[in-house]
């Protein structure tokens, strides 16, 4: 009988990290699950709650302490990094994984950070490890679906990725800060074989999304997701890649647009009494507060997200088009399942590529099978 691998979830006591820990437990794929977090009290409570189901241990870990971080990583077979914000900590954690010679997966979705991590590709290859980044839903599952559509064509030419969401209330300031930071800067796009920048919240486009009760028409705008960097790198011949998203009800989108247009998502300093904050910190704190929770309750809309991946190209001398849609009622499964699936595949040796890789480098068929078994369902349209 082959012994099950072990995993460490960094940031495993956080809002999303704790969901990943629960998914690891539910998967029954690991002999040991370690939680690495600065909040050791919360980490120990999670171990006490779930530890009767599997061997679990909590470690007090500060990712700004590299020797300690490397030591904790060396005690597990694979690393899942859920430490936010990725813009601040991701590079340090990846460097530690390379030093520890441990395979690694995350759900990081920042464009500039993705570029920075690919600068570590040679070091990862020399260490013989796999650094699998961007394996959430968007980016993540949608990248795999883009690859799946592309391999069915003679030549894929365009990939268009969109999401439409009704947000639930999130009490984590860090989670809001991460989401809102991308709305304060120009957005990278890949058009006609060239990387360009477009202003955030432009252009406004109408997209059709297949919801559980029929088609939903949503207004989306360009978003700063890293597929415009990774897909042209790994799906050869693609000339145009766009990423876009929008939120319902429109009042939520209008509020975020207001924050962005008036500089309230910037790093500009604001002094209140003896304390100094950035505009982004204050905006994130407002959205994480009971004020936003009350506003969402007043709107009375159940939270959900729909993701749409469209691939255009040529097949047998004719234009071809594949559209994949994924619907999620809550963010929990969307956030937790993909990195756990990635960790399982890495630990079992089913991902052989070394260095820094994105989801679209992988064979799409076994991954899609894992997604379906993990409860991530989607619809396919071909024309």
> What's the sign of the alpha-carbon dihedral 66, 70, 72, 76?
positive
pLDDT-derived band of residue 294, with 50, 70 and 90 as boundaries? Answer: low
Locate CATH 3.40.50.720 in the chain: 6-137+333-374
Asked whether the predicted pLDDT for residue 365 surpasses 80, the reply is: yes
Q: Which helix (H) or strand (E) holds 262?
A: none
**Average pLDDT value for residue range 25-36:** 96
Token digits of residue 108? 């990081």
Helices of type H across 101-208: 111-118, 121-127, 141-151, 173-181
Torsion of CA 123, 129, 134, 136, to 10 degrees: -160
Q: What is the pLDDT of residue 45?
A: 97
Name the more confident of 127 and 52. 127
pLDDT reported for residue 209:
86
Mean pLDDT of the chain: 89
Place 167 in a pLDDT band, splitting at 50, 70 and 90: low
Q: In the chain, list all ranges with CATH 3.30.360.10.
A: 141-328
136 secondary structure, DSSP code:
B
Distance CA 322, CA 313 (A): 9
Strand partners, 310: 160, 323
**DSSP element (H, E) containing 168:** none
pLDDT bin (cut points 50, 70, 90) of residue 330 is low
What CATH fold (topology level) applies to the domain 141-328?
Dihydrodipicolinate Reductase; domain 2 (3.30.360)
209, two tokens: 């999304």
| Residue 324: φ, ψ to 5° | -120, 135
Where residue 289 falls among pLDDT bands split at 50, 70, 90?
A: confident
Backbone Cα Rg of the chain: 20
pLDDT at 1: 47
- At 192, list the tokens: 């006609």
CATH no. for 6-137+333-374: 3.40.50.720
Looking at residue 267, its pLDDT comes to: 82
Number of CB atoms found within 10 A of residue 218's CB: 24
Q: Tell me the two tokens of residue 378.
A: 């989607």
- Whether the predicted pLDDT of 280 surpasses 50: yes
């Amino acid at each position: 009988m082959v012994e099950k691998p072990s995993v460490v979830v960094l940031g495993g006591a956080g809002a999303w990290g704790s969901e990943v820990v629960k998914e690891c437990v539910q998967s029954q794929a690991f002999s040991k699950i370690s939680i690495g977090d600065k909040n050791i009290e919360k980490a120990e409570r999670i171990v006490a709650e779930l530890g009767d189901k599997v061997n679990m241990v909590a470690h007090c870990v500060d990712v700004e302490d590299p020797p300690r971080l490397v030591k904790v990583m060396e005690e597990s077979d694979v690393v899942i990094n859920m430490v936010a914000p990725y813009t601040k900590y991701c590079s340090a954690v990846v460097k530690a994984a390379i030093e520890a010679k441990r395979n690694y997966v995350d759900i990081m979705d920042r464009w500039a950070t993705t570029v920075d991590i690919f600068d570590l590709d040679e070091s990862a290859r020399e260490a013989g490890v796999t650094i699998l980044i961007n394996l959430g839903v968007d980016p993540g599952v949608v990248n795999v679906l883009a690859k799946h559509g592309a391999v069915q064509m003679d030549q894929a030419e365009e990939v268009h990725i969109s999401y439409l969401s009704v947000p639930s209330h999130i009490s984590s300031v860090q989670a809001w800060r991460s989401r809102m930071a991308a709305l304060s800067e120009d957005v990278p796009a890949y058009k006609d074989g060239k990387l360009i920048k477009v202003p955030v919240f432009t252009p406004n486009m109408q997209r059709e999304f297949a919801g559980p009760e029929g088609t939903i028409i949503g207004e989306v705008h360009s978003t700063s997701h890293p597929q415009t960097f990774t897909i042209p790198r790994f799906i050869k011949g693609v000339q145009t890649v766009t990423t876009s998203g929008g939120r319902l009800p429109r009042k939520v989108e209008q509020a975020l647009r207001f924050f962005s247009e008036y500089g309230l998502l910037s790093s500009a300093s604001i002094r209140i009494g003896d304390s100094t904050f950035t505009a982004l910190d204050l905006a994130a704190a407002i959205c994480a507060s009971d004020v936003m929770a009350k506003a969402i309750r007043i709107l009375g809309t159940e939270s959900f997200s729909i993701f749409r991946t469209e691939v255009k190209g040529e097949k047998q001398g004719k234009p071809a088009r594949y559209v994949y849609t994924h619907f999620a009622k809550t963010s929990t499964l969307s956030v937790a399942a993909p990195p756990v699936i990635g960790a399982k595949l890495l630990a079992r040796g089913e991902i052989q590529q070394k260095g820094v890789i994105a989801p679209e480098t992988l064979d799409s068929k076994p991954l899609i099978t894992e997604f379906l078994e993990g409860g991530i369902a989607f619809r396919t349209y071909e024309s």
